[in-house]
A and B are shown apart, each in its own frame.
Chain A
Amino acid sequence: MSKPIVATTSLAGCFGCHMSILDIDERILDLFDLVEFNKSPIDDIKTFTKQCDIGIIEGGCCNSENVHVLKEFRKNCKILISLGECAIMGGLPALRNGIPVEECIREAYLEGPTVTLNKEGILPNDDELPMILDKVYPCHEIVKIDYFLPGCPPRADLIWNALVALLTGNEMDLPYEVVKFD
């Protein structure tokens, strides 16, 4: 039987959730026995080369590129998992959600204390650049997400337990200590 195929990505996240995947320690070897990775920063495959069984999403959507990737994942994966607070509820990037996007851009490119080089007041508007969304969106407010694993980052044990359950078809074992929002 061929191994289940897993893809992962980081949208508006900090790669902390991916670090947490690696944090399952030596079980990572078991994981590589259990699954095959496709598009993922873990193996550096940049585009989907086949249909996947599980897609793991870190980060919410803050720009059009994020939305695009997320929709690609939805198309190419049977099961999608929102991994971590940013994917689930926007996380720290969504701290900007109460502030009009114009003000955020002004602060970032024109008026913020760290803006020293942009004398001409240029704003990024090249067609090649992703467009910034009015707020940071949780992934499930854009596409259907099947499972949610909270935490910032999610505990390695939570990730492991969830993956094993999904791969074996067993009930998820979630001890109290592993489900946390920070």
Chain B
Amino acid sequence: MSEIIKIVIDGKEIEATKGQTILQAAVNNGIYIPTLCAFDGIKPKASCRLCTVKVNGRAMTACTTPATEGMEIENNTAGINEIRKAIIEAIFVEGNHFCPSCEKSGNCELQALGYRFMMMVPRFPYSFPQRPIDATNPKLLLDTNRCILCLRCVRGLKDENGKSLFAIKHRGVHAEIVMDHEVCANISDEMAQKAMNTCPVGVIIKKEKGFDEAIGTRKFDKQPIGHEIENKFNQGGN
């Protein structure tokens, strides 16, 4: 049987299973920790830094740090949320996010975080970078203007031989996501859909589809991101 341990998040004691990350434990207990690069079923690599929490006073990422007995965790504090908000704003100015013309608008996790953190305008100047769009694949469009380099696609999408569909090239400010044209040449519809679902924003887009959900019916139109976690134990209640 798996060992149960106790940890404390923002003063609330919760139970976790040994081996779980702080994030998994929090989610299971209805506590929302903002994330962008974490994705169910894909090995975490803490690159967005949004899930940063303080563990016994030290900044750690909840998506990668295993929960251990007695951990004291700060999550929903003004100080941490201010840094998270700054990160979200930094991501917005880094790329070209023209939400009104984006296929993912309303279902986009970055945008939803902008809403949740009440971003009215980023504190940083926009950089308006020149970024490529790769439309050569028959099923997938890759619009890197919106890429946030969460690397979910790089970590999570492999073909049957374990070869990558996507990879990251260059480093630092020059980093960019590219598609492997050979591996993606005969991509199936399911895989194309999976690729689109894996991307939190509007980079990987399945062709010949889009803008097919009316405003008001999309994922984050009415409810903030994370509400499904926070309302976990309220359902059927009231």
Which residues in A have some Cβ–Cβ distance to B below 8 Å?
82, 85, 88-92, 94-95, 97-99, 135, 138, 140-141, 145, 147-150, 152, 174, 176-177, 179-182
| Known pairs A91-B100, A176-B222 / 16 extra A-B pairs, C-beta < 8 Å | A82-B121, A85-B100, A89-B97, A90-B126, A91-B98, A94-B98, A95-B101, A98-B128, A98-B129, A138-B121, A138-B126, A150-B120, A152-B100, A177-B222, A181-B97, A182-B99
The interface residues of chain A, by DSSP majority, are classed as: mixed
Residues of B within 8 A of A88 (CB): 120-121
On whether the beta carbons of B100 and A182 are closer than 8 Å, the reply is yes
Whole-angstrom distance between the Cβ of B89 and the nearest chain A Cβ: 11
Q: Which of B99, B122, B221 contacts A85 (CB 8 A)?
A: B99
- Residue on A with the closest CB to B110? A181
The residues of A that contact B106 with a CB separation of less than 8 Å are 182
With contacts A148-B120, A177-B222 taken as known, whether A97 is within 8 angstroms of B100 at the C-beta atoms is: no
Q: Closest approach, in angstroms, between the C-beta of A182 and any C-beta of chain B?
A: 4
* Complex alpha-carbon distance, A47 and B121, angstroms: 29
Nearest residue in B to A180 (C-beta to C-beta)? Answer: B115
C-alpha spacing A176/B126, complex, angstroms: 25
Interface residues of B (CB under 8 A from A): 96-102, 105-106, 111, 114-115, 118, 120-122, 125-126, 128-131, 145, 215, 221-224
A94 and B131 alpha carbons, distance in the complex (Å): 14
The residue in B114, B118, B121, B224 that gathers the most chain A C-beta atoms within 10 A of its C-beta is B121
Which of these, A135, A150, A180, A182, contacts B128 with CB under 8 Å?
A: A135
Q: A92-B100, A97-B128 are in contact. Are A182 and B105 (CB under 8 A)?
A: yes
| Alpha-carbon distance between A160 and B115 when the two chains are bound, in angstroms | 19
Whether the pair A181, B128 counts as a contact (CB closer than 8 A) is no
Tell me which residues across on chain B come within 8 A of A145, comparing CB atoms: 121
- A-B pairs, 3 with minimum CB distance: A152-B100, A181-B99, A97-B128
B215 to A182, Cβ gap below 8 A? yes
Q: Could you pull out 27 A-B pairs where Cβ atoms are within 8 angstroms?
A: A82-B121, A85-B98, A89-B97, A89-B122, A90-B126, A90-B128, A91-B98, A95-B96, A98-B96, A98-B128, A135-B128, A140-B121, A148-B120, A150-B121, A152-B99, A176-B223, A177-B221, A177-B222, A179-B118, A179-B120, A180-B221, A181-B97, A181-B105, A181-B111, A182-B99, A182-B102, A182-B106
